[in-house]
Structure 1
Amino acid sequence: MRSTGIVRKLDELGRITLPIELRRNLDVNDRDPLEIFVDEDTIIMKKYNPADIFTGQMEDLVEYKGKKISKSSILELARLAGLNISE
């Protein structure tokens, strides 16, 4: 990790403002979802990119009950279930 030298305070609702330079460099726009990770005492924010819940694949996704699944995972699950499905 590298330091940006930027320090921000939380407001009374626990919010922070990301500087415009960071948003431009990381291509983060208004209303973009950010994923939050915690590693011991470190908070990490990353622009959220939906991925297949099984493989992490980010192409050819289908949403089912709020989860993203790639078409290749769906076909593999069908094969495991003994279904013969052609593409």
Structure 2
Amino acid sequence: MKSTGVVRKLDELGRITLPIELRRNLDIEDREALEIFVDDDTIILRKYNPADVFTGEMDNLIEYKGKKVSKASIVNLAKLAGLKIME
């Protein structure tokens, strides 16, 4: 991990502000979703990229009931269910 040298205090609601220079460098737009991860005592923020719920794949995604599923996973699930697939 690389330190940016930026220190921010939480406000009364537990929020922080990411400096504009950091948002520009990482191409983070206003209102863009960020994922939050925890590793021991470290908090990690990452731009949110929706991925296939089964494989983590990020190509050829289709949304179904609020979840992202790749076309490859759909084909594999159909085959697993015994359905004939015409590609």
Map Cα deviations across residues 10-44 of structure 1 (whole Å, 9 max, x no partner): 00111100001110011100010000000010000
| In 2: Cα distance, 1:75 partner to 1:54 partner | 12
Counterparts of residues 58-73 of structure 1 (less than 5 Å): 58-73=58-73
Q: Match of 1:18, as an amino acid?
A: L
Q: Any unmatched runs of 5+ in structure 2?
A: none
Residues 1:22 and 2:14 are matched in the alignment: no
TM-score (norm: length of structure 1): 0.97
Report the secondary structure of 1:28's partner residue: coil
TM-score (norm: length of structure 2): 0.97
| In 1: Cα distance, 2:21 partner to 2:28 partner | 10
Instruction: Say how many residue pairs are matched.
Output: 87
Q: Which runs of 4+ in 1 moved over 2 A?
A: none
Q: Indicate the residue corresponding to 2:42 in structure 1.
A: 42
Percent sequence identity is 76
Task: Tell me how large the CA RMSD over aligned residues is.
Answer: 0.6
